[in-house]
Amino acid sequence: MPDNQVRAVALSVSDMSFSIGGVQLIYPMSFQVTSGRRLVVLGPNGAGKSLLLRLCHGLLQPNAGQVHRNDLHPAGRRAHAMVFQTPVMLRRSVLDNVTHALAAIAVPPAQLHGRAVEALNRFGLMGLAERPARLLSGGEQQRLAIARAWALRPDLLFLDEPTAALDPSATRLIEAMLTDLHAEGVTLMMSTHDLGQARRLADDVLFLASGSLVEASEAQQFFNDPQTAQARAFIAGDLVW
């Protein structure tokens, strides 16, 4: 994209911070998520990655600053959705997990089954449609969580370490799903502790440490020429506090 071409912004964070009981967990930070790109949030355990995603998605409200996102959408469409590290599965079938999510955003009843079937077919899950969702393997549950989110037709999808508990085969399937979503124009904001995965998927990187935004750059620059000592240590596999 030419440097002088303005990129649309899917999410804008301005001087946002968050604390609980007087303990500062997220220090003031500002950044933007560019539409159509894949922003990967990196950092050591306890850096604030999951908390940041929840704040950006609106599950938590910041104590200061603002999160600007598009919360307006026509019936049957979500502006943004989130997939968690441990998928939340209802005590229903695979198919019913999707139809329930669609009903919650006021998709007309006549469209529920068709939209759900489309999502399961899209990601190779139709053969599991009548199986209880909670009896699926971890990888299958995560694929269902992503298919369910895709059925909502979000512009922006948040993912909190979606492959952290999965084996390499399941991880490859999830990464392929995310690559397809990106190709369709969905903006992704995703946390991971896997540097290899970040190298494969990221267009842009946010690097956090101890609740602070230490570095924000395009992925190629971050991995090839990190600008801070903390980022260099993290990439090298050293402990970062």
Residue 1 confidence class, pLDDT cut points 50, 70, 90: very low
Q: Three-state DSSP class for 14?
A: strand
Handedness of CA 145, 146, 152, 158 (dihedral sign): positive
**Backbone phi, then psi, for 97, in 5-degree steps?**
-60, -35
pLDDT value at position 2?
41
pLDDT of residue 4: 40
Average pLDDT over residues 87-103: 96
Rounded mean pLDDT, 183-209: 96
pLDDT of residue 72: 66
Whether 76 shows a pLDDT value over 90: the answer reads no
In the chain, pLDDT over 90 holds for what percent of residues?
A: 87
Q: What distance in Å separates the CA atoms of residue 210 and residue 217, rounded to the nearest whole number?
A: 19
The structure tokens listed for 129 are 């449609």
Pairing of strands 64-69, 156-160: unpaired
Q: What are phi and psi of 235, to 5 degrees?
A: -65, -35
Give me 182's structure tokens.
């990106």
Contact status, residue 97 vs residue 144, Cβ threshold 8 Å: yes
Give the pTM. Answer: 0.92
Torsion of CA 141, 145, 146, 152, to 10 degrees: 150
Exposed/middle/buried for residue 224 (C-beta within 10 Å: 0-12, 13-18, 19+): exposed
Residue from 178, 137, 141, 140 nearest 158 by CA = 178
Query: Which residue, among 3, 29, 25, has the nearest Cα to 16 in the 3D structure?
Result: 29
pLDDT value of residue 78: 75
Give the per-residue pLDDT at 3. Answer: 43
pLDDT digits 0-9 by tens, 43-68: 999 999 999 999 999 999 999 999 99
